[in-house]
Amino acid sequence: MAKTQAVAVQEASFEVMTNDVPEWLKQGQARGAENVTTDDMIIPRIELIQALSPARKKNDPAYIDGADEGMLYNNVTRQLYGEAVTVVPVYYTKQFLVWKDRKAGGGGSNGFRGAFASEALARDAIAQLGEEALEISDTAQHFVLVNHGGEWQEAVISMAKSKIKVSKRWNSLIRMTQTDSFARAYKLSAATETNARNESYHNFAIAPMGFVNKDVYDRAEKLYETIRAGGVKVSNDYDAEVHETAESEY
């Protein structure tokens, strides 16, 4: 009898859980996180699942239930975004990422050796590391707000090698609006392409949408100012997607 009651209580507790903020909860109060600074938080990355992605391998720690090639996902929360999401570009920068070659034991995040503001700094880092099989990947970093389930989240989209052409097109579309980058939303999705070896893979695709409302614009502007002030730390927990694409030259 006692066991039955315990189960009933547990089920009842889940029935009252909700994603909506309860009316009784005080708005504007965030106790318990007073000591959290930007150094204690990271902005996740939106990544694109390929055919051989770890997210699809059940025996891999990076496995995500329901993951399929061509899907977008959050590399920190492991949330699947599906085949397309709405994003608002907030800030663009270019970095030079240093990787250890996968064949030399540097696959995925294990191969990441750092992100640098210039190629010269990246080469200096390689010299100091003293490791073999290190390479530099010219990588575009797009800071965005992404809409998932009706909520806006902060994220970064990294584009290297074949994705660079998508980044350049996106930057051109943004410039054509002749206003702030975060004044307009875009559809981020996946497109199938073929490499020089006639192998198919998925690349990002960008399509312009409408202008955002004032609330979204204000939130994006606040994030923009935070990034400009150096108050944002990006996740360096790279899954294989960024590295493999950079390495295989799709």
Residues whose CB is less than 8 angstroms from the CB of residue 2 and which lie 6 or more positions away in sequence, other chains included: none
Beta bridge partners of 77: none
CB 21 within 8 A of CB 132: no
Question: What pLDDT, on a 0 to 100 scale, did the predictor assign at position 196?
Answer: 78
151 membership: H or E segment, kind and range:
strand 151-160
Q: What is the per-residue pLDDT for 5?
A: 45
Left (φ > 0), alpha (ψ -120 to 50) or beta: where does 174 sit?
alpha
pLDDT of residue 181: 94
Model pLDDT, residue 35 = 66
Question: Per-domain residue ranges for the chain?
Answer: 46-93+141-245
Query: How many CB atoms neighbour CB 97 within 10 A?
Result: 24
The pLDDT score that the predictor gives to residue 29 is: 59
> Nearest Cα to 62, choosing from 40, 246, 50?
50
**SS3 state of residue 52:** coil
Is residue 71 within 8 A of residue 81, CB to CB? The reply is yes
Contact by Cβ (8 Å): 218, 226: no
pLDDT at 61: 82
pLDDT tens across the length of the chain (250 residues):
444 444 443 433 334 445 566 676 666 656 676 665 656 567 888 999 988 888 888 888 888 998 899 999 998 888 999 999 999 999 998 888 887 776 666 555 667 787 787 888 888 888 888 777 788 888 899 999 999 888 899 999 999 888 999 999 999 999 998 899 999 999 999 998 887 788 888 999 999 999 999 999 999 999 999 888 887 777 666 655 444 444 444 3
pLDDT at 105: 61
| Predicted local confidence at residue 246, as pLDDT | 42
